[in-house]
Amino acid sequence: MGAAFIVLEGLDGCGKSTQAKALVHRLEQAGHAVLHTREPGGTPVGERIRGILLDRTLGEIDPRCEVFLYQAARAQIASAVIRPALEAGTSVVCERWHYATMAYQTAAHDGAAAGAPAEMVSETAAWATAGTEPDRAILLELPDTERDQRMGADLDRIEARGSTYRQRVGAVYRRIFEGDPERFRIVSAEGTIEAVHERVWEAVHDLV
Binding site for ligand ATP (CB under 6 A): 10, 12-18, 150, 192-193, 196
Work out how close the CB of 111 gets to Mg ion at its nearest, in angstroms, rounded to a whole number.
23
Work out how close the CB of 196 gets to ligand ATP at its nearest, in angstroms, rounded to a whole number.
5
- Give helix 16-29 / helix 193-204 axis angle, nearest 10°: 60
10: burial class by Cβ within 10 Å (0-12, 13-18, 19+)?
buried
Q: Helices (DSSP H) in 88-188: which residue ranges? A: 98-106, 118-129, 144-151, 163-177
**What are the φ and ψ backbone dihedral angles of 36, each rounded to 5 degrees?**
-105, 125
Comparing CB distances to ligand ATP, the nearer of 33 and 195 is 195
Work out how close the CB of 18 gets to Mg ion at its nearest, in angstroms, rounded to a whole number.
8
Comparing CB distances to ligand ATP, the nearer of 127 and 174 is 174
- Asked if 82 contacts 129 with a C-beta cutoff of 8 angstroms, the reply is no
Cα gap 172→158, rounded to integer Å: 16
**Partner in contact with 40, chosen from ligand ATP, Mg ion, none, beta carbon below 5 to 8 Å by kind:** none
Among 3, 4, 6, 17, binds Mg ion (CB under 5 A): 17
| Segment contacting Mg ion by CB under 5 A, of 16-24, 41-49, 98-106, 158-166 | 16-24
**Partner in contact with 122, chosen from Mg ion, ligand ATP, none, beta carbon below 5 to 8 Å by kind:** none
**What are the φ and ψ backbone dihedral angles of 162, each rounded to 5 degrees?**
95, 180
